[in-house]
Structure 1
Amino acid sequence: MRQKVNLNAYFERIGFAGSIAPTLATLETIHGLHPLAIPFENLDPLMGRPVLLDQASLEEKLLHKGRGGYCFEHNTLLMNELVELDFTVRSHAARMLWGHGEGGARMISHMVLVVDIAGSSYLCDVGCSIFTLTAPLKLRDGVEQTVGNDVFRLSKVEALWRLDVRVRDEWRGLYQFEPVEQSPADIAAINSLVETEYFNRALLFAARVDKEAHYALSGNRLSIYRPGQEPERRFAEDVPALRTMLAEVFRITLPTREDFEPALARVMSAVAAQAAER
């Protein structure tokens, strides 16, 4: 049964006003506004709280409570909104390449969307913390596409699509995905594995993008990417500093649960352990 979608609440959250016809222009506008308004964060799995992907839960958390979410939440929400607007949308599972060897991460941990419009297909992804897309990419092999200050390239490698980004004149892999549609049950199963991984390893990620910069948090390290400049690095030295960073830099309405600060303490302990191993 199709879930009830509150388009007005979504449009208010992202600041959308205009034509809702299922056109490329509408998709581009929505895709551009969504990541500007809703941050990426994985605080719930870090606290051991299940990540719920039903529409009511997504709306309550991402639209009404001032929270963000990670890829499964962002892209499921976007997919449901687009389907409500009569777009043709498919979900796909992706394997991260960034920070891993050429074969990619050991587990599939990401979700992307493909939207079909007037005979062409477009990659949509408002939930990637590393390089947040603020526009759909045409699913064309080997074509460089500029989004904001970044240049991306999709390549067809046998049965896989691979997304690369140009970093200082070098192409670096972001992720790859097989063009096989995933059902909601498939996505839920992958989501369950990922939330367990984040909790067990005390992994904290957050991201936000605006017209001036891209902000990315990994553990206690904040990276700020501004066009034409070397990345700026900052480090949260303790739990209060990490709380402040999440609230002020990423504009997240922080959870009031009693297990939130212990979760951040686990992150700081994991960071210290990793530093000791180096």
Structure 2
Amino acid sequence: MALSPVDLEAYLSRVGYRGSKEPTLATLHALTAAHTRSIPFENLDVLLGRPIRLEPDAVLQKLVHERRGGYCFEQNGLFLEVLATLGFQVAPLSARVRLQRPRDFVPARTHLFVRVELDGESWLTDVGVGGVSLTSAIRLQTDIEQPTPHEPRRIIRDGALWFHQVRFGDEWNDVYDFTLEEMPHIDREVANWYTSTHPTSHFKDRLMAARAGDDGERLTVAGREFSIRARHGQATKHAISSRAELLDILDRHFGIRLPPDSPLEVPGAPWPS
């Protein structure tokens, strides 16, 4: 499905992009950066008990026209449509998120990201993996450190699995593993149902919001904590003390505006719901 000219312009306005629309590597890098700086990763609708709809029109309405955020199926689903509309050769890929998980643990295959074929090379982009969303595309090439406007990345292989890794300081950390298997829409629907409704889904037990900032910064809300991590890795953390403060942080730093009487419940919050 291609976006209409009006919808494409609305998206470009939403992310503040005014550059070239030609399907080039420079455009891919610039759009990846613009998206992750403008549309926050967040799971508020899961905590509000609202269904997460993946139809392109529904995602466009929420993330662009309502100026909300979302998680990987919404974020990368929209980005896939934008890139395809601009003429990029794209494919949706599936992955298992491994952040802060040991290699001997097998997480569900519940992540969507994007492969782009460009001038005979394969590139990966991902605007929907929370506090480590890419801010430029990276080559599908193993064992080389790849700079981005934020953290360095690399791709390694272990048997049949590819691993996307991020470097914090001197340590490489797995972001997710993948096999280059595509993720058609029906598989995204099934995985989305699990992540948004299953009682053990980590999207059900904590509030999350994340956005890439300028100069390598990362802004994150995780549960009752707001943090700003600088390019060099040092984070300034702040305990959120009230529901009103949470709503103010979501508004000022993430552009998410919820009414004061919103029925948002924050798991584990000490303040009244």
Q: 1:215 aligns with which of 191, 216, 219?
A: 219
- Find the aligned partners of 2:130 and 2:68 in 1 and give their Cα distance: 15
TM-superposed deviation, 1:157? 2.1
**Counterpart check, 1:241 vs 2:245:** yes
- Find the aligned partners of 1:8 and 1:114 in 2 and give their Cα distance: 23
TM-superposed deviation, 1:105? 5.3
1:124 matched residue in structure 2: 125
Q: In 2 relative to 1, CA 208–237 (structure 1 residues): closer, same or farther, beyond 3 Å?
A: same
Which amino acid in 1 is paired with 2:72? C
Q: In 2 relative to 1, CA 261–199 (structure 1 residues): closer, same or farther, beyond 3 Å?
A: farther
Query: Which runs of 5 or more structure 2 residues have no equivalent in the other structure?
Result: none
Secondary structure, aligned partner of 1:163? strand
Which aligned pairs between 1:171-186 and structure 2 lie closer than 5 A?
A: 171-186=172-187
Report Cα offsets for 1:177-232 as digits up to 9, x if no partner: 12111111111111111011458843211001111410111111222111235211
- Find the aligned partners of 1:61 and 1:152 in 2 and give their Cα distance: 30
2:100 matched residue in structure 1: 99
TM-superposed deviation, 1:261? 3.2
2:41 matched residue in structure 1: 40
- Find the aligned partners of 1:123 and 1:199 in 2 and give their Cα distance: 25
- Find the aligned partners of 1:26 and 1:229 in 2 and give their Cα distance: 28
Tell me which moved more, 95-104 or 8-17. Answer: 95-104
| Contact 2:135/2:150 (<8 A) preserved | no
- Find the aligned partners of 1:3 and 1:11 in 2 and give their Cα distance: 15
Which aligned pairs between 1:165-204 and structure 2 lie closer than 5 A?
A: 165-197=166-198, 198=201, 201-204=204-207
Identity %: 32
Which amino acid in 2 is paired with 1:20? K
TM-score by length of 1: 0.89
- Find the aligned partners of 1:268 and 1:72 in 2 and give their Cα distance: 27
TM-superposed deviation, 1:249? 2.3
Higher relative helix content: 1
Q: In 2 relative to 1, CA 200–29 (structure 1 residues): closer, same or farther, beyond 3 Å?
A: closer
Which aligned pairs between 1:73-152 and structure 2 lie closer than 5 A?
A: 73-104=74-105, 106-152=107-153
Number of aligned residue pairs: 266
| Contact 2:123/2:140 (<8 A) preserved | yes
- Find the aligned partners of 2:178 and 2:233 in 1 and give their Cα distance: 31
1:15 matched residue in structure 2: 16
Query: Which runs of 5 or more structure 1 residues have no equivalent in the other structure?
Result: 272-278
- Find the aligned partners of 1:187 and 1:76 in 2 and give their Cα distance: 9
1:164 matched residue in structure 2: 165
| Contact 1:202/1:263 (<8 A) preserved | no
- Find the aligned partners of 1:100 and 1:228 in 2 and give their Cα distance: 23
1:27 matched residue in structure 2: 28
**Counterpart check, 1:155 vs 2:156:** yes
- Find the aligned partners of 1:81 and 1:229 in 2 and give their Cα distance: 31
Secondary structure, aligned partner of 1:263? coil
Report Cα offsets for 1:20-66 as digits up to 9, x if no partner: 22221221111111111111111111111111111211111111112
